[in-house]
Amino acid sequence: MNLSHLGTPIGPMIRVHGGFANRMYRLDTDQGSFAVKELNLVDRRWTYHAEDVFRFERAAFAAGIPMPEPISASHDTLVHRWVEGEKVPEAPASAAYAFEIGEILARIHALDVEWTDVSVKDPTSRDWPELAERAAATGQPWADELASHVETFLAIAHFVDTCERPGPVVLTHKDIQPWNLLARAGRPVLLDWELSGMLDLSGELGSTALSLAKGPGFDNIESTIFRSVLDGYVAGGGTLPPSGPSWFVFMIGGWLGHTRFNILRCLAGAEANTGPDLTQSHESARNGIRGLPDMFGRLPELEALLV
């Protein structure tokens, strides 16, 4: 990385552990403190459009969206001004916090930003039987669980490819989850914008509202918190799309891809130089293998949150 534009370092760059896909470092210089993200280019699951995302981030920051200031972006490195704040736990948020997230989403969707990416999404992978066989052959600790859910994962892939998405499509963050949020004096700060792009509005609202309304599983979903996100979105000038399974297909599809990504890293069996550590990939693979079938089976319950 060439980070000379950030000033003279006053100490070594420090690894900040915990990233699910990339690697993060803190760099302190005579010009301030910076978050330096090294993007995983080896097994990336999507095309990163650095110029589009940086333009979107700069517009959002200029519009007053609470977020770290974007400093620079290249095909392999992102730099933001370091922001202090409290980590947001994976647990139901407060109603006020959830409401403000909804308002922020409405403000983001109202931005007028050019987006040049016109890529077409590839069909969802259907290689789950082969992955289960490889997991068994290599002695993965979650191999039996994966084998027992192969048909469910194939059904999930079919659902992701065939679910009707009514629109509208908006330019948005696409990944507002507790681990991509901070709290400063109880108010939100949005991190990690590199997944930004065009998305069906229902998918963005459903993913965001559900992530703020539940804990690690799906046994405790607070419907009032889910509704607070939607109420904030309307208060911020947004209009809610029609109810239906499309509200949850983006979250399911994203988790499906994330699970497969980590399974492949585990099957490789070697510690990679970029991306999450191998132990973290095993944890993410196991969580997806257990959690995705549960979420998919609860779709009727999730749709009831929209009523």
pLDDT tens for the chain, residues 1 to 307: 689 999 999 999 999 987 767 889 999 999 999 999 988 765 555 666 788 999 999 999 999 999 999 999 988 899 999 999 999 999 999 999 999 999 999 999 999 999 987 666 788 999 999 999 999 999 999 999 999 999 999 999 999 999 999 999 999 999 999 999 999 999 999 999 988 999 999 999 999 999 999 999 999 999 999 999 999 999 999 999 999 999 999 999 999 999 999 999 999 987 777 777 899 999 999 999 999 999 999 999 999 999 8
pLDDT of residue 190: 98
**What pLDDT sits at residue 192?**
93
Query: Are the C-beta atoms of residues 274 and 42 closer than 8 Å to each other?
Result: yes
| Three-class SS state of 206 | helix
Indicate if the alpha-carbon torsion angle 97, 100, 106, 112 is positive or negative.
negative
Taking alpha carbons only, the member of 66, 67, 85, 90 closest to residue 211 is 90
- State how far Cα 78 lies from the chain centre: 16
pLDDT of residue 61: 98
What pLDDT is stored for residue 117 in this prediction?
Answer: 73
3-class state of residue 253 by DSSP: helix
Contact 293, 152 (CB under 8 A): yes
- pTM for the whole structure: 0.91
CA-closest candidate to residue 205, choices 253, 243, 161 = 243
- pLDDT value at residue 47: 66
Looking at residue 124, what is its pLDDT? Answer: 94
267 dihedral zone (left: phi>0; alpha: psi -120 to 50; beta): alpha
